[in-house]
Amino acid sequence: MHRARERKFLKRVGPGGERSSLLVVGTNQLMPLPLLYNYRRCPYAMRARMALLVAGIEFDAFEISLRDKPAAMLAYSPKGTVPVLVLANGRVIDESLHIMRWAFEGRDADGCWQRAQTPDNLALVTLNDGAFKQQLDRYKYPERHGEADAAVPRDQAARGLLHALEQRLAAQPWLGDGQPCAADLAIFPFVRQFRAVDVAWFDVQPLPATRLWLQRWLDHERFEACLKKLPAGVRLRF
């Protein structure tokens, strides 16, 4: 039998004083961990972290300040939004769904990513990232969008994604054919953010299956790990 490869972590200090984790495999191989530029409360970054955690990928995280975005991140991705994942080979992935797809490439033994690729699930994710996110922003920040009545985008969001989600979840506990899948991971952070705008209103809506689904994620051990607080401006092992 082959002996299990030794795995441990070292710290490397770069020329600018930055520190990164090195994964030591065996005796001579040093592999820098992927670096995720992150903002803890951002739902896009949240779903990227959830995918990395579910896929079992070890990574470093750099918590950014929205008012003082790091120059290194902007050099990697000039659009200036999180998440941004920088791989050891220099590849940069700066879209959350693309990070999710990369996380499960070759690491999807239980079909988490594959189950998300059904037409119904793809349609839900598209609706979430499109009309629902626009309505969520107008509901959460009505003054920024010139919205006189926040109830208007709130109700539009409920009639769109939330009702479609309720129909699906009333028939099965998860979106992945009865099991959690990447579509669940991609959507629930946004539903969580929507609920947080007015918890009392959300919790009395006729969305019992959606509320139960969301609560399962909020209670999930992976989500507890996902919400770990990190100091801003420091690269640390997540």
Which pairing describes strands 29-32 and 60-63: parallel, antiparallel, or unpaired?
Answer: unpaired
Position 8 pLDDT exceeds 60: no
126, 215: one domain: yes
Q: What average pLDDT score do residues 88-108 get? A: 97
88, 153: one domain: no
118, 106: one domain: no
Torsion angles phi and psi, residue 185, rounded to 5: -60, -35
pLDDT at 97: 98
pLDDT at 148: 96
pLDDT at 177: 84
81, 135: one domain: no
- The pLDDT tens digits for 183-234 are 999 999 999 999 999 999 999 999 999 999 999 999 999 999 999 999 999 9
CATH number at residue 37: 3.40.30.10
134, 215: one domain: yes
For the chain, percent of residues with pLDDT exceeding 70: 88
4 part of a folded domain: no
pLDDT band at 30 (very low <50, low <70, confident <90, very high): confident
209, 231: one domain: no
73, 125: one domain: no
Task: Find the domain containing 87 and state its range.
Answer: 10-110+227-237
The stretches of 114-207 forming alpha helices (DSSP H) are 119-127, 133-140, 151-157, 163-171, 182-197, 199-202
5 part of a folded domain: no
Q: Residue 29 CB: number of other CB atoms within 10 A?
A: 10
171, 106: one domain: no
pLDDT at 62: 98
118, 200: one domain: yes
121, 183: one domain: yes
59 part of a folded domain: yes
CATH number at residue 178: 1.20.1050.10
Tell me how many domains the chain contains: 2
pLDDT at 105: 96
88, 177: one domain: no
Position 54 pLDDT exceeds 50: yes
133, 70: one domain: no
- The pLDDT tens digits for 120-169 are 999 999 999 999 999 999 999 999 999 999 999 999 999 999 999 999 99
Position 10 pLDDT exceeds 70: no
Structure tokens at 220: 């999930």
pLDDT at 2: 38
pLDDT band at 11 (very low <50, low <70, confident <90, very high): low
Q: Say what the pTM is.
A: 0.88
Q: Residue 36 CB: number of other CB atoms within 10 A?
A: 24
